[in-house]
C-alpha cells in the first residue's frame, strides 16, 4: 500500500508538471516510465499512467488561464479568449474549470462502472476476433484521417506508416519485410520524437509566447455560481467523442467550445474543459475492455505492458488481486477517483505557487526542453539497438519533416498511428485474405 501511494504521488506530481509546462504532451508519462519498466509491477505502471494522464488535462487549463500559455494542446481552443476576462473572472474560471473537469471525469467513470459491473464488458471482449479486429482497425484509420484538414494526405501518410512499420509475423510474404530495410534505424520513439515532440518544442522556443500573468491573490477570487449546464454539456459531448480514435479530447473540446456563441466566453471555456476531461476517461474504455488502444498515450502504455508480458484485455480482466481484494480494473477505477479528487483540490489552491513556478520554468524552457529531449533519446537508445549515426540522421530528417508539417497545419498523427498499427493491420489483413479469399 505504501509503494502504491508513493507511485500515485509521483504520478500526480508529474501530471501537474506535464499540464503546466507548454509544449509537453500528455503522452509523455509512459515515455518517462520506460527505463523503470523492469522493476515496476503492472499495477504501478497503470497507476502512474492514469495519474499523469488525468493531471495533464486539469493543469493545462490552469496554465492557460493564469498566464495565457496553454500547458496542454486542448487549451489552445480557448486561450485567446482569456484576455477578455479580468483578474477576478480568470481566477474564478480556474475554480469553474476544476469543477467541470471533475464532473467530466466522474461521469465518464460512471460509464466505465456500468459497462464493467453490469457484465457488458464480457460480451464486448468477443470483438477481439480477427475479422472484427480488422474492421475496427480500418474504421479507426478512416475516422482518424477524416477528422483532419488534409484527408487525402492523411490516408496516404497512414499507408506509408503501415508500409514502413516493423513486421513480426514470420508467415508474411518476404517482400513485406523488404520495406523495413529502409527504416532499420528508425524506432517508434524516434518517430514520435521527430514528428511530434521536437517540432512542438522548436515552435514553442521560436514563437516565444508572451506571458499575460495574473497577480494571484486568493482574496480576489469572486465565487460566482457554478455553471453546471455548461459543465454537463461538455461532459456528454466529451464522453461520446472520447470514443473517436486519435486526439479525441482535443476534438471534443473544440466541438463543445464551438457549441456556444462568441460572447459566452466563460461558458465556452468551462464546457471545453469538461469535454476534454470526460473524453480522456471515456477514451480508455476500448483499451480496458477490448485491448484496443485509440490514443497515442494508450499505444505507449500497451508497449510498456507488453514488456511485462501482460496482454490486454484478458490478462487485465483475469488479473490477480492487488490489495484489499481489488483486482486491476477496480484498482484503476480507484486511481481515477482519487487522482481526480486530489487534482480538483490542487487546481483551486496554491495558485500563487503555480504562477511562480510557471514564471520560473518559462524563463528556462529551452534548458527544460533540451534536457527532456536528451532523456527521451537516452530511453530510446537504451531499449533499441541501432547504429548511432543513421539513427540521428533519421531523427534529424523526421524532425525537419515534422516541423514543416506543423507550420503548415498538417497533422502527422495518421503517419504515427499507421506505423504503430502496421504490424497488427498487416497480419489481420493477411490472415483474413488467407482464410476467406485465397481459396476463391
More confident residue, 17 or 403: 403
Residues 6+ apart with CB under 8 A from 131: 432
Q: How far apart are CA 167 and CA 179, in angstroms?
A: 10
In this prediction, residues 336-349 reach a mean pLDDT of 87
Residues 6+ apart with CB under 8 A from 265: 78, 81, 84, 85
**Alpha-carbon dihedral angle through residues 91, 95, 97, 99, given to the nearest 10 degrees:** -170
Angle at 191 between CA 420 and CA 403, to 5 degrees: 130
Q: By mean pLDDT, which of 19-23, 58-62, 158-162, 256-260 is the weakest? A: 19-23
Phi, psi dihedral angles at 63 (to 5 degrees): -65, -40
Q: pLDDT tens across 123-182, in order?
A: 555 555 666 667 767 877 887 787 677 889 989 998 888 888 776 655 666 666 666 666
Residue 398's pLDDT band (cuts 50, 70, 90)? very high
> What does the DSSP 8-state code read for residue 126?
G
pLDDT on residue 404: 92
> How much of the chain exceeds pLDDT 70, in percent?
75
- Give the pLDDT mean for 68-95: 72
pTM above 0.75, yes or no: no
From the CB of residue 412, how many other CB atoms can be counted at a distance below 10 Å? Answer: 21
DSSP conformation letters of 43-76 = HHHHHHHHHHHHHHHHHHHHHHHHHS--SSGGGG
Q: Cβ neighbours of residue 342 under 8 Å, at least 6 residues apart?
A: 12
Q: What is the CA radius of gyration of the chain?
A: 22
d(CA 280, CA 239): 8
Using one digit for the tens of pLDDT, what is the confidence trace for 89-132?
777 888 888 888 888 889 888 888 888 777 665 555 555 566 66
Q: What is the mean pLDDT of residues 348-363?
A: 68
- HSE-CB at 352 with a 13 A cutoff on CA atoms is 7
Q: What is the dihedral of CA 121, 124, 128, 132, to 10 degrees?
A: -170
Select the more confidently predicted residue: 276 or 119.
Answer: 276
pLDDT at 343 over 70: yes
- Running DSSP on this structure, what letter comes out for residue 378? H
Beta bridge partners of 326: 323
Which cell goes with 211?
506571458
Amino acid at each position: 500500500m505504501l509503494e502504491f501511494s508513493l507511485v500515485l504521488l509521483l504520478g500526480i506530481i508529474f501530471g501537474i508538471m506535464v499540464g503546466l509546462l507548454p509544449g509537453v504532451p500528455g503522452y509523455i508519462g509512459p515515455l518517462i516510465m520506460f527505463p523503470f519498466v523492469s522493476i515496476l509491477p503492472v499495477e504501478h505502471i497503470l497507476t502512474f499512467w492514469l495519474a499523469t494522464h488525468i493531471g495533464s488535462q486539469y493543469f493545462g487549463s490552469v496554465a492557460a488561464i493564469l498566464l495565457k500559455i496553454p500547458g496542454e494542446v486542448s487549451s489552445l481552443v480557448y486561450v485567446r479568449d482569456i484576455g477578455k476576462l479580468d483578474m477576478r473572472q480568470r481566477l474564478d474560471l480556474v475554480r469553474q474549470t476544476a469543477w467541470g473537469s471533475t464532473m467530466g471525469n466522474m461521469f465518464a467513470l460512471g460509464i466505465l462502472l456500468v459497462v464493467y459491473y453490469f457484465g457488458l464488458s464480457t460480451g464486448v471482449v468477443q470483438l477481439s476476433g480477427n475479422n472484427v479486429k480488422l474492421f475496427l482497425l480500418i474504421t479507426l484509420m478512416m475516422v482518424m484521417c477524416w477528422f483532419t484538414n488534409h484527408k487525402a494526405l492523411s490516408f496516404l501518410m497512414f499507408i506509408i506508416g503501415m508500409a514502413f512499420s516493423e513486421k513480426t509475423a514470420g508467415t508474411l510474404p518476404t517482400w513485406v519485410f523488404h520495406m523495413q530495410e529502409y527504416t532499420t534505424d528508425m524506432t517508434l520513439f524516434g518517430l514520435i520524437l521527430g514528428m511530434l515532440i521536437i517540432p512542438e518544442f522548436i515552435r514553442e522556443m521560436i514563437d516565444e509566447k508572451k506571458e499575460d500573468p495574473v497577480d494571484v491573490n486568493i482574496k480576489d477570487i469572486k465565487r460566482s455560481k457554478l455553471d453546471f449546464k455548461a459543465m454537463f454539456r461538455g461532459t456528454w459531448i466529451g464522453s461520446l467523442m472520447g470514443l473517436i480514435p486519435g486526439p479525441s479530447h482535443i476534438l471534443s473540446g473544440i466541438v463543445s467550445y464551438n457549441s456556444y456563441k462568441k460572447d459566452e466566453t466563460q461558458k465556452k471555456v468551462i464546457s471545453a474543459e469538461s469535454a476534454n476531461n470526460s473524453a480522456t476517461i471515456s477514451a480508455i474504455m476500448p483499451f480496458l475492455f477490448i485491448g484496443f488502444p485509440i490514443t497515442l498515450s494508450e499505444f505507449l502504455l500497451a508497449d510498456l505492458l507488453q514488456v511485462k508480458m501482460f496482454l490486454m484485455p484478458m490478462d487485465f480482466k483475469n488479473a490477480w488481486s492487488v490489495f484489499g481484494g481489488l483486482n486491476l480494473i477496480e484498482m484503476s477505477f480507484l486511481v481515477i477517483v482519487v487522482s481526480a479528487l486530489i487534482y480538483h483540490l490542487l487546481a483551486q489552491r496554491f495558485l500563487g505557487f503555480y504562477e511562480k513556478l510557471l514564471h520560473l520554468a518559462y524563463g528556462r524552457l529551452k534548458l527544460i526542453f533540451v534536457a527532456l529531449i536528451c532523456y527521451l533519446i537516452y530511453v530510446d537508445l537504451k531499449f533499441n539497438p541501432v547504429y548511432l549515426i543513421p539513427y540521428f540522421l533519421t531523427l534529424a530528417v523526421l524532425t525537419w519533416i515534422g516541423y514543416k508539417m506543423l507550420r503548415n497545419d498538417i497533422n502527422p498523427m495518421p503517419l504515427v498511428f499507421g506505423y504503430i498499427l502496421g504490424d497488427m493491420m498487416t497480419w489481420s489483413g493477411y490472415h483474413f485474405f488467407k482464410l476467406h479469399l485465397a481459396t476463391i
